[in-house]
Amino acid sequence: MSWLDAFVQWTGWLGLDYRFLLDAYERGSFVAGAWVTLQLCLCTMAGSLAVGVALAAALVSGRPWLAGPTRLFVEVTRNTPTLVQLYCAFLVLNMLISEVIGGANPFTPFAWVVIVISLHKGVFHAEALRAGIEAVPQVTLEAATSLGFSRRQRLWRVELPLAVRFALPSLVNNLIELVKMTALASAIAVGDITYASILIWTQRDNVLELMILILLFFGLLSFVVNCLGRGLEARLRMPGYGH
């Protein structure tokens, strides 16, 4: 742990107080918080993409009884603050569920964060995917049909591959926003990196130092998502489209 000592000493000279890193308990809770944030990111990414595909499918289904309510859900969800949605879900829904099924409520605060953010970001994914689907030229689909493709083949071999390519920049954008949105978890005391930091700085009064760490951590996560997105875009690039 000598490099940690060196780090604390070195930052000390700069006037920054990172001594909590030398305390095994506080260091542990900070690392655990980072790990929780990472888990939140992975779960909400998967969840939001699944929600996005399902909602987009409903939006373009052409069935009014399905597309209508979905459109309403999309508008309500994207026009209300995520924090308020989270409070509603955790404080109201969760309590109702607890009252009905008693103490064995399976929904942890972690689960509520995943659900709420997945739904919220899923709405944005759905709109991006819808834009992608609608950008596929009608004639290209007709060409597939006229070659004898079944509906399924047309969807999986032509429509979706093209729609995902068109939607990919927006999807990556949404995912980067999603990474940062997971900090909301601290609002209902899920032990993510932000919450862990709050607990530490209320003891030590080293807000600036922890803020720097949080910023770096989220910056790094977003950067990784960004790179993965760029990589995927490059892999799926269609020559003659874009540049």
Which residues make up the interface to another protein (CB under 8 A)?
137, 139-140, 142-151, 153, 157-158, 161-162, 165, 236, 238-241
- Smallest separation, CB 162 to another protein (Å): 6
Instruction: Of 184, 19, 65, 203, give the one whose Cα is nearest residue 118.
Output: 184
Q: Which is nearer to another protein, 106 or 148 (CB)?
A: 148
Q: Which is nearer to another protein, 75 or 142 (CB)?
A: 142
Q: Are 63 and 164 in contact (CB under 8 A)?
A: no
- Smallest separation, CB 54 to another protein (Å): 23
Question: Which tokens belong to 203?
Answer: 């003891």
Q: Which is nearer to another protein, 149 or 201 (CB)?
A: 149
Q: Which is nearer to another protein, 32 or 155 (CB)?
A: 155
- Smallest separation, CB 166 to another protein (Å): 11
Q: Which is nearer to another protein, 162 or 178 (CB)?
A: 162
- Smallest separation, CB 230 to another protein (Å): 18
Cα–Cα distances (Å) from 94 to 81, 88, 104, 107, 111, in that order, read: 18, 9, 12, 7, 11
Question: Which tokens belong to 64?
Answer: 């009014």
Q: Which is nearer to another protein, 106 or 137 (CB)?
A: 137
- Smallest separation, CB 138 to another protein (Å): 8
- Smallest separation, CB 137 to another protein (Å): 4
